[in-house]
Amino acid sequence: MTNINYEENFLTLLKDRKAVISVVGLGYVGLPLALSFAEAGFQVLGLDVDEDKVSKIARRESYIGHITSERLRRSSGLFSATSDFNLVSTADAIIICVPTPLTENREPDLSFVEGTLYSLLPQFRAGQLLSMESTTYPGTTQEVLRPPIEKKGLEIGRDFFLVYSPEREDPANPDFNTQTIPKVIGGATESCARVGLALYGQVVDKMVPVSSTQAAELTKLLENIYRAVNIGLVNELKLVAEAMGLDIHEVINAAATKPFGFTPFYPGPGIGGHCIPIDPFYLTWKARAFGLHTRFIELAGEINAKMPEHVVQKLAKALNKESKPLKNSKILLLGMAYKKNVEDMRESPSLEVLKLLLEGGAQVDYSDPHVPILPRTRKGSFELKSVPLTEENLALYDAVVLLTDHRAFDKGFIKKHSRLVVDTRGAIPAGPTVIKA
């Protein structure tokens, strides 16, 4: 190539706020990141194959609950979106924030990452930084992203820069945002790491450099596997506590008073979201290549996967005490999102509970202020709309099941006006009509 010092050029562009940042994938991770760079004074080009998202950004309309349309309007002039990957040649930094789901065989599905890469490659040029934030197994950045770029005749660390920096977004968390969540950065080379740290340092307060892209990839998996395993632990302990006639939430809250050596995790109807139910399988798949069997991680996954079935069994048992079979009983599910105060339903355990109840012959509706219409999901197409949570509506159902403890749900109101409540979150005060599950 040439004798141009691309690292020095990139750092100068950042310093002068002349670097163009492209964010590929404008979902829960990509959109707030793109807005953060625009708010820092950079020109930002968003790329997404979803034309509806592109159109809404053009109209400055938010499609994510905790991102306001006003915030989009404030970014006008600096942030634009397109589905045309040919425009990526204008960018100095390209950040990939696309999904990394699982195949039907529970193996890593990198089709979105690979599709994005090959859409970018024709326009990829010398001097650009490519960063991936999508969760994946250790080695992906070096094994999947690096070789196709080098085939263009570009030398890594000199002509282009490659980093892995795992996303750490927690939608609707009022205590943390893109700026205040520390950013882990792993570079393919030392110069890649320097450029990556300089890029994210423009919008994030604290940088956490690690020795390699593989270390950064494993860091992300550890964070989510830690949560998955601990949730599996408390879900199992919940079953033990129930058998003993004890309230697991009382026990956890008491244990949480210990000022050291204990972090509280809470049980529920299962695990959901785009990370926790999926990420452990990325590591177990990769571990098999080294002849290792991650039994502890897989056991936690099995326990968590059984929790929707446990909820349905508790509901059926409670109905039986009222001389009502599950079949033909009218059930109202409260909360379809995977976590409170968001609209995200990816891998939500509520969907599995819904599916099991329908298979059992129950008549099921749901109420969720964040999900007015239940879209088609991996679990199927249910063609349901959210039911308003009124005194009259609650009286229509044989039982209501609290699956997601949204702030908008008045727990006392639900308890007062429902015939039977199955509470999977420990959020409703105890009483003769309240069953903990």
Instruction: Provide the Cα torsion 111, 115, 117, 122; round to 10°.
Output: 160
Question: CA 391, 372, 171: angle at the middle one, nearest 5?
Answer: 110
Tokens 């915030």 correspond to what residue? 71
**335 token code pair:** 């909360």
Place of tokens 């999508």: 134
What gap in Å lies between CA 344 and CA 346, rounded to an integer?
6
Are the C-beta atoms of 207 and 195 separated by less than 8 Å? Answer: no
Q: DSSP per residue over 374-425, as a string?
A: ---BTTB----BBPP--HHHHTT-SEEEE-S--TTS-HHHHHHH-S-EEESS
The answer to whether 275 is a known catalytic residue is yes
Given 275, 318, 319, 437, which residue is catalytic? Answer: 275
The DSSP result for 67-120, as a single string, is S-HHHHHHTTTTEEEES-GGGGGG-SEEEE-----B-TTS-B--HHHHHHHHHH
Tell which phi-psi region holds residue 403, choosing left (phi > 0), alpha (psi between -120 and 50) or beta: alpha
List, by residue number, the catalytic residues: 275
